[in-house]
Structure 1
């Protein structure tokens, strides 16, 4: 029996919990209140991720599908509007991409991404280290109340939701392209800008609601 699927799912779960924790904490929501729902969705993510990566060689599609599943979780379980669910998901997911990319450069500064991905132990080390750091950062954000408190029922200025939905769609398309090329510094640059864009939008909405 191969233990590869077990290891893949276990360490991917650490990543998934980190992403969910960041999503929630950035917007001052308590991740533990919905953790069991999140773990179920994360398990689905990991199963489809394993198939897409190992069986179909479509790894670049995995992040996009994972984000869509998180959006589905927020809209159905937490009853958050589609646009806000997308903003929350993209903010948390892209923040984790930045964390993991920087962790990669710190741990494996003399190796390429392909070399790390080709070594199971190094890959698990990257997943677990960046995942635990993401969870710790999310816990600190929530503990000290750092984040954006938005009224998710009040979303729109006139025609603004159209612009936001268009931005979300373009962001997801561009994310697929960047994941396909798999360049670390390109990822850091793009996802940092994307996170800042959606956080700016959240801050703007927070001030408007006040």
Structure 2
């Protein structure tokens, strides 16, 4: 229970800093989507914990990709940025985040090998990475820095329908994996997130059209 609590707490800090970094870099106010972010981050963390706890090799392989897709859909369906920009924001946020975390790992601990079998070191890296990413990106946002492109210029016609179809395909795919690989608890977080995105996507289509 203690392991679960520590994992979820520090992973939540890490997730918040990642979403903050991605949104603030593009001049989007993270605070408007704080509670939405928390919900999705917790679902992702729950899935990641189960993947690690049960040591499911197949889930280990797809977890990073699933996390990227879930984050991209969050930006598209809830933050409501164009599809192309949601992909770019996701990749930019993860790239900056991983770069900062890598610098911390090698500058403080001298590499990943020196952190093996020491969970406390991993938690420290998550905490320090989160503090730097959140504090730095928020400071730059408040100072008026960040990418200021006109995001709407790259909004594709019919992309709402495309995203809805993508979500449905992913849901069907995950359900298939559940029955074929017995990965129910490892994918339930992703499925819950996809159903949330599907709800927001369909609701937006009804109120705003394609």
TM-score of the pair, normalised by structure 2: 0.69
Q: Could you say which residue in structure 2 is the equivalent of 1:100?
A: 101
Q: Could you say which residue in structure 2 is the equivalent of 1:166?
A: none
Q: Distance in 1 between matches of 2:96 and 2:39?
A: 22
Q: Where is the helix percentage greater, Structure 1 or Structure 2?
A: 2
Q: Distance in 2 between matches of 1:63 and 1:90?
A: 12
Q: Distance in 1 between matches of 2:60 and 2:79?
A: 29
Asked whether 1:25 is paired with 2:24, we answer: yes
Query: Greater Rg, structure 1 or structure 2?
Result: 2
Q: Could you say which residue in structure 2 is the equivalent of 1:71?
A: 72
Q: Could you say which residue in structure 2 is the equivalent of 1:137?
A: 136
Q: Distance in 2 between matches of 1:118 and 1:93?
A: 25
Matches within 5 A, 1:31-180: 31-55=30-54, 56-57=56-57, 58-109=59-110, 112-155=111-154
Q: Could you say which residue in structure 2 is the equivalent of 1:182?
A: none
Work out the number of aligned pairs and report it: 155
Deviation at 1:63, TM superposition (A): 2.6
Q: Distance in 2 between matches of 1:6 and 1:84?
A: 34
Root-mean-square deviation (Å): 2.0
TM-score of the pair, normalised by structure 1: 0.69
Structure 1 gaps, min length 5: 158-210
